[in-house]
């Protein structure tokens, strides 16, 4: 016996936030801190063209390398290879720490996060406080920033930004945002961007096709618009350390919960970060196990004994199976066979 159920809307939005770009616009990262145990490599590539007669194409990549840590924390570095922040300073490094202590998925009204960083081109520290709210397919984001003044007059600058993401399905979203320092120089404009966000099915990778007038993806860069429209993309490559160095979860005894009713779930297995959490369960015969997909990509629960297995479990959805007979049931994910788990039925 098995039961399939779905919970799209906010659940799908929360899953998207776990790893990629489908839950945030190009210029406002908001509370994106990833999933613990994953190292993220994001490539932001922007292109611009000069006028006649040269018609030269210039590309400006920014690389993010960051590790998602416990307590909803992300630590890493943004490296802008061709910074326009300060004259005669060709590169820009932003060493960042981002924390998201308040989350809507945990029952709060808003997602709230903060970031602090040191920017070596600006030779100073920057900070951001962001808030976001998901309602069905819509997600709204806002941020306030305090930036080191790159004009070296000795005072900080304040920047404000806001954006929105509209989900068109599990794998496609549209986004846009705008922001600016409050005291722009004559050469600066309101920063803006628009993006088509894509989750590549059955992979942990996401892709954002973008148009914007900002240069680098640092806090300093995304707060300062230019007169030039740039086109480009952001591509995410998460490395799931659990796949290589993870350890098996300890057995979970759910007999008490399962004994109350054979139709209610006896245990819940969360699918997140390309891993089955609580991958080894011990339950009594007649109990029901629910697999909840909190990843931004689809998975299956496929039993090695050839018994009943799940269809593709889309992001934000669940699948349940009731175990009537004692035994050991090993399972894995068909698209990602390194994801494995076991249910022991007593």
pLDDT, averaged in runs of 10, over the chain (346 residues)? 36 46 87 88 89 83 93 94 81 95 91 95 94 94 93 78 92 94 89 94 90 92 91 91 58 38 59 84 90 89 87 90 91 89 90
Q: Are residues 236 and 249 in the same domain?
A: no
Domains in the chain: how many in total?
2
Q: Are residues 179 and 34 in the same domain?
A: yes
Q: Are residues 133 and 209 in the same domain?
A: yes
Classify residue 4: in a domain, yes or no.
no
Which structural domain range is residue 126 located in? 9-240
Contacts 24+ apart (CB under 8 A), 148-153: 148/119, 148/122, 148/123, 148/124, 148/220, 149/124, 150/85, 150/86, 150/121, 150/122, 150/220, 151/185
Q: Residue written as tokens 């698209």?
A: 335
Pairwise CA distance, residues 283 & 346, whole Å:
6
At residue 113, what are phi and psi to the nearest 5 degrees? -145, 160
Helix (H, G, I), strand (E, B) or coil at 12: helix
The DSSP element (H or E) to which 237 belongs, if any, is strand 230-240
Q: Are residues 86 and 109 in the same domain?
A: yes
Q: What is the pLDDT of residue 233?
A: 94
- Bridge partner residues of 159 (DSSP): 145, 181
Give Cα 45 distance to the centre of its chain: 18
The DSSP element (H or E) to which 240 belongs, if any, is strand 230-240
Q: What is the pLDDT of residue 316?
A: 84
Q: Are residues 225 and 275 in the same domain?
A: no
Q: Are residues 329 and 202 in the same domain?
A: no
Q: Residue written as tokens 């993006």?
A: 195
Tell me, what CATH number does 255's domain have? Answer: 2.60.40.420
Classify residue 117: in a domain, yes or no.
yes
Pairwise CA distance, residues 146 & 151, whole Å:
14
Pairwise CA distance, residues 58 & 157, whole Å:
29
The Cβ of residue 47 has, within 10 Å, a number of other Cβ atoms equal to 13
Pairwise CA distance, residues 173 & 198, whole Å:
7
Classify residue 104: in a domain, yes or no.
yes
Structure tokens at 229: 């429209």
Classify residue 316: in a domain, yes or no.
yes
Whether the full predicted model's pTM is greater than 0.85, yes or no, is no
Q: Are residues 169 and 42 in the same domain?
A: yes
């Amino acid at each position: 016996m098995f039961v399939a159920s779905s919970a799209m809307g906010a659940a799908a939005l929360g899953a998207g936030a776990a790893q990629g770009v489908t839950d945030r616009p190009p210029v406002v990262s908001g509370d994106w801190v990833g999933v613990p145990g994953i190292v993220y490599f994001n490539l932001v590539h922007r292109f611009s063209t000069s006028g006649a007669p040269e018609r030269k194409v210039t590309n400006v990549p920014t690389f993010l390398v960051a590790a998602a840590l416990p307590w909803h924390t992300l630590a890493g570095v943004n490296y802008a290879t061709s910074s326009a922040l300060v004259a005669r300073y060709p590169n820009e490094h932003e060493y960042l720490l981002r924390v998201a202590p308040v989350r809507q998925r945990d029952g709060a009204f808003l997602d709230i996060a903060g970031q602090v960083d040191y920017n070596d081109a600006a030779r100073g520290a920057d900070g951001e406080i962001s808030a976001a709210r998901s309602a069905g397919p819509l997600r709204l984001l806002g941020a306030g920033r305090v930036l080191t003044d790159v004009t070296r007059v000795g005072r900080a600058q304040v920047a404000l930004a806001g954006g929105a993401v509209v989900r068109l399905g599990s794998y496609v979203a549209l986004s846009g945002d705008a922001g600016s320092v409050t005291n722009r120089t004559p050469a600066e404009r309101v920063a803006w961007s628009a993006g088509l966000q894509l989750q590549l099915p059955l992979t942990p990778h996401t892709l954002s096709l973008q148009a914007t007038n900002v240069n680098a993806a640092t806090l300093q860069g995304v707060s300062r618009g230019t007169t030039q429209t740039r086109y480009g993309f952001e591509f995410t490559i998460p490395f799931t350390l659990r796949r290589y160095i993870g350890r098996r979860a300890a057995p979970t005894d759910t007999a008490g919960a399962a004994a109350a009713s054979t139709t209610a779930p006896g245990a819940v297995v969360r699918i997140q970060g390309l891993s089955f959490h609580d991958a080894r369960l011990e339950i009594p015969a007649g109990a029901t196990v629910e697999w909840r997909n909190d990843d931004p990509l689809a998975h299956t629960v496929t039993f090695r004994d050839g018994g009943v297995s799940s269809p593709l479990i889309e992001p934000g959805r669940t699948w349940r199976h009731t175990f009537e007979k004692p035994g050991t049931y090993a399972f894995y994910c068909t698209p990602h066979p390194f994801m494995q788990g076991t249910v022991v039925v007593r």
